[in-house]
């Protein structure tokens, strides 16, 4: 099982922020559209109050942009030469003020238990 890890991020208040990740299931395999039933996003401020929640639809209409069946490399990805399979544009309303935020994605697989992708960081003002 991959180790739990919290990823840092930096955003600007009142601006959107794009989460890019190579997401693997608890067995270490890259997730695909067929292996994920749903994804939920929750953004909270330093006091734990939610500033944004969304249920991300994994459907044919939006899934290629949200969750790829293969790893992608484009100008946005600078982590390595392997690529990402998850991209989500967090809306500007999620960061209404400068300060600390936590962005948490919960992946519900088609089989097995849910797992999370977590970012913690700041919105600068």
Mean pLDDT over the full length of the chain: 89
Pair of tokens at residue 63: 């899934």
Can you give the pLDDT at residue 117? Answer: 94
Can you give the pLDDT at residue 1? Answer: 46
What is the third-level CATH fold of 6-124?
A: Immunoglobulin-like (2.60.40)
Contact, 112 vs 25, CB < 8 A?
yes
pLDDT above 60 for 62 = no
Q: Looking at residues 4-26, what average pLDDT do you find?
A: 93
DSSP calls for the chain: -PPP-EEEEEEETTS-EEEEE--B-TTSPBP-GGGEEEEEEEEEETTS-EEEEEEEP-STTTHHHHEEEEEE--TT--S-SS-EEEEEEE-GGG--SSEEEEEEEEEEESSS--EEEEEEEEEE-
pLDDT confidence bin for 18, thresholds 50/70/90: very high
Task: Give the start-to-end residue ranges of the domains of the chain.
Answer: 6-124
- Nearest in space to 35 (alpha carbons), one of 125, 121, 115: 115
pTM of the predicted structure, to 2 decimals: 0.89
Q: Looking at residues 18-33, what average pLDDT do you find?
A: 93
Pair of tokens at residue 45: 């401020």
67-98: per-residue pLDDT in tens?
A: 888 999 999 999 999 999 999 999 999 999 99
pLDDT above 70 for 57 = no
The residue with greater pLDDT, 118 or 4, is 118
């Amino acid at each position: 099982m991959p180790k739990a890890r919290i990823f840092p991020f930096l955003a600007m208040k009142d601006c959107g922020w794009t989460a890019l990740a190579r997401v693997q299931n608890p067995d270490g395999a890259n997730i695909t559209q067929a292996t994920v039933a749903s994804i939920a996003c929750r953004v909270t401020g330093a006091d734990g109050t939610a500033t944004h929640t969304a249920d991300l639809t994994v459907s044919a209409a939006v899934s290629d942009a949200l969750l790829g069946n293969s790893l992608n490399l484009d100008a946005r990805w600078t982590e390595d030469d392997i690529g990402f399979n998850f991209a989500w544009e967090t809306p500007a309303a999620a960061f209404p003020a400068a300060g600390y935020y936590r962005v948490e994605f919960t992946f519900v697989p088609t089989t097995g238990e849910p797992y999370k992708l977590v970012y913690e960081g700041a919105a600068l003002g």
